[in-house]
């Protein structure tokens, strides 16, 4: 694959971009599969999570694990479904997805955008979620 460079933009190898895209895919899949340990393995030890933006920032895997537990406590199941490609620039990425929430058989949808930074191994060092919970609507 040939690299395309744009003046003023960070140069990133396709290998690193692919690693970040793989991490994002695993992030969505493992969260949806309720794979707490596998999901947490995608984060650096000192990662931060602000989900949603404006809420308490979680620091480190213990607090991020608590966020995972809280997220999965009420719904019967949660599914995160990618809604388009991840945009990767340097060691950062943003992507849109739909949260499919199953509450005892009633399905609700919620749109979200995550912005993340990554370390050199492609692990998540920070995650911020842009979510408007008031926009949650029943699946049609």
Q: What is the pLDDT of residue 2?
A: 41
Catalytic residue among 18, 35, 45, 51: 51
Q: What is the pLDDT of residue 112?
A: 97
Buried b (16+ CB within 10 A) or exposed e, 27-38: bbebbbeeeeee
What total number of domains does the chain contain? 1
Q: Residue 131's Cα: distance from chain center in Å?
A: 12
Query: In the annotation, is 51 catalytic?
Result: yes
Q: Is 6 part of a structural domain of the chain?
A: no
Q: What is the pLDDT of residue 134?
A: 92
Q: Is 56 part of a structural domain of the chain?
A: yes
Q: Which residue segment(s) compose the domain that 131 sits in? A: 14-138
Q: Is 63 part of a structural domain of the chain?
A: yes
Q: What is the pLDDT of residue 11?
A: 53
**Contact (Cβ atoms closer than 8 angstroms) between residue 42 and residue 26:** yes
Q: Is 95 part of a structural domain of the chain?
A: yes
Q: Is 9 part of a structural domain of the chain?
A: no
Catalytic residue among 26, 27, 114, 132: 27
Query: In the annotation, is 27 catalytic?
Result: yes
Rounded to whole angstroms, how far apart are CA atoms 37 and 14? 28
Q: Is 3 part of a structural domain of the chain?
A: no
Rounded to whole angstroms, how far apart are CA atoms 14 and 122? 12
Domain CATH number, residue 83: 3.10.450.50
Query: Which is it for strands 124-131 and 106-118: parallel, antiparallel or unpaired?
Result: antiparallel
Task: Decide: pTM greater than 0.75.
Answer: yes
Query: Which residue matches tokens 């609700």?
Result: 108
Q: Is 33 part of a structural domain of the chain?
A: yes
Q: Is 44 part of a structural domain of the chain?
A: yes
Nearest 5°: the CA angle 8, 4, 94 is 70
Quick one: tokens of 43?
């984060």
Q: Over its length of 140 residues, how does the chain's per-residue pLDDT go in tens digits?
A: 344 455 555 555 788 899 999 999 999 999 999 999 999 999 999 999 999 999 999 999 999 999 999 999 999 999 999 999 999 999 999 999 999 999 999 999 999 999 999 999 999 999 999 999 999 999 98
Q: What is the pLDDT of residue 127?
A: 98
């Amino acid at each position: 694959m040939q690299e395309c460079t744009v003046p003023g933009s960070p140069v990133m190898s396709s290998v690193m971009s692919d690693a970040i895209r793989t991490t994002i895919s695993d992030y969505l899949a493992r969260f949806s599969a309720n794979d707490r340990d596998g999901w947490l393995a995608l984060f650096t030890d000192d990662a931060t999570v602000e989900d949603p933006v404006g809420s308490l920032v979680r620091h480190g895997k213990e607090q991020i694990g608590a966020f995972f537990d809280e997220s999965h406590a009420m719904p019967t199941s949660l599914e995160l479904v990618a809604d388009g490609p991840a945009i990767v620039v340097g060691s950062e990425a943003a992507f849109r997805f739909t949260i499919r929430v199953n509450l005892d058989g009633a399905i609700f949808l919620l749109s979200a955008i995550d912005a993340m930074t990554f370390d050199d191994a492609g692990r998540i060092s920070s995650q911020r979620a842009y979510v408007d919970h008031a926009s949650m609507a029943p699946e049609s």
